[in-house]
Amino acid sequence: MVQADRNVVLSATGALTNAAQVAAGGGLAATAASASNTATGVLLAQGDATLSTAGLLDNAGAIRAGNQLSLGVGSLRQTGQAYGLQRLGVSASGAVDNRGDLIGGNALRVEAGQLSSSGQLGSERGDVALISRGNLQLDGRLASAGAFTAQADGALTQSGNLSAASTLDLRSTGDLTVAGQVAGQQLTLVSDAVVRQQGTVSGTTVDVQGARIENAGQTTAAGNLTLRAGQIGITGTVGAGINADGNLDRGSTLNLFADRQLTASGTLLVGGNLTAQGSQLQLAGATTRATGNVALTTGGSLDHRGGNLLAGGTLAVQAGGNIDNGRLNNVGGQLQANQLSIDGGSLSNVGGGLVLSGAGVTRVVIGGCARQQRRHARQQRSGSEHHRCQY
């Protein structure tokens, strides 16, 4: 064991290997071409600790600083523990592979050519920032007592457990894939390519953007939720305004905006209003529940065969092409709301139902020809026709 009540400096022109315990009462600085801190090695500083290597830093032991811990390396292989009571900063020109613990007290920042973490990574009291100039792989457990941001110039993949006490922001130039659990307050997922959500994503508010969004998992928000992409596909669950007990609240919005096709065969839930827009709306087989209003808008066609939509307020459908609310696998489509407004180029409702759940008004305009009916609750046909149309 090497112990000093003052600063300690370790220097090597070649490789530096430590298998002992080195404790500094002040700061600790180590410089080498490469360095190895073995499983029995301990580097401890009461003040700042700085390790600098042009090549690999292989840490299988423990590196701890009472103030700031700074690792400036060519690459980092981390199977041990690295801890900075105030701050932990890692800067690597090459790859960082964390299979142990990377923990910063007030803050953690990692910048690398490529970054992967399958161990524990996070902060105890502050923010976490991860920046990769290549791919970014987030497995294991990642937690931030403040904000969590991760940015990749390549692909970003998350398959562990990721949580943040405040904002959580994941961004990638390549594909962004979520296969684990992600939870935060203001949660944002952004990709210049494809966002694949196969896990569980939850937040107070959730915003997802990409060239294409594929949601096969569960994406929910206690407040507002927005999906915005060139193309959207939903086979899982997307929900907004969902209470902690799983029930739908009121006053939130679920926005689905697709420049091209919006496809949903899963479940759409909102404690409030739903807006869905796309050049084509393919909602065949989808289950949709909204406590407020629902607006479905497309310049093309709406396919709602076998779908089941229930709105507590007004359902407004506007389609430039055909509206198909017929059968899918012998199950007819159902559009139900307190008030209905249907406007389309044509309507196919064979085996389907347009149902009022309140004493509202049904207004149907097909190919410019209008039919309006006032019905009592739960009735499908009554009242008077203002214009006689065939559809």
Q: How many CA atoms lie within 13 A of 154 on its CB side?
A: 12
Dihedral Cα 152, 154, 155, 156, nearest 10 deg: -10
Tokens linked to 305 = 């065969």
Environment class of 118 (CB within 10 Å of its CB; exposed 0-12, middle 13-18, buried 19+): middle
Q: Which of 42-51, 195-204, 348-357 has the lowest mean pLDDT?
A: 348-357
Contact 65/84 with Cβ under 8 angstroms?
yes
Among the listed residues 24, 63, 15, 31, the one whose alpha carbon sits nearest the alpha carbon of residue 45: 24
* Residues 110, 97: Cα–Cα separation, whole Å: 11
Q: Count CB neighbours of 318 within 10 A.
A: 17
| pTM metric for this prediction | 0.92
Q: What is the pLDDT of residues 289-334, one digit of tens each?
A: 999 999 999 999 999 999 999 999 999 999 999 999 999 999 999 9
Strands 353-356 and 308-319: unpaired
**Average pLDDT for the chain:** 93
**pLDDT value of position 1:** 67
Q: Spell 263-279 as b/e; 16+ CB within 10 A means b.
A: bbbbbbbbbbbbbbbbb
Q: Is the pLDDT of residue 378 over 80?
A: no
End-to-end CA, the chain: 89
List Cα–Cα distances, 215 to 107, 112, 149, 207, 302, in angstroms: 32, 29, 21, 13, 20
Contact 278/298 with Cβ under 8 angstroms?
yes
* Residues 98, 36: Cα–Cα separation, whole Å: 15
In the chain, the amino acid numbered 1 is: M
Among the listed residues 337, 360, 237, 245, the one whose alpha carbon sits nearest the alpha carbon of residue 291: 337
Q: Is the pLDDT of residue 171 over 60?
A: yes
With tokens 């071409």, the residue in question is: 33
Q: What is the pLDDT of residues 231-254, one digit of tens each?
A: 999 999 999 999 988 899 899 999
List Cα–Cα distances, 319 to 167, 326, 327, 356, in angstroms: 37, 16, 19, 20
Q: Which of 74-88, 117-131, 211-225, 377-391 has the lowest mean pLDDT?
A: 377-391
> Is the alpha carbon torsion for 317, 323, 328, 332 positive or negative?
positive
Report the pLDDT averaged over residues 184-200: 99
Q: Count CB neighbours of 65 within 10 A.
A: 27
* Residues 197, 53: Cα–Cα separation, whole Å: 38
Report the pLDDT averaged over residues 31-50: 98
Q: How many CA atoms lie within 13 A of 217 on its CB side?
A: 18
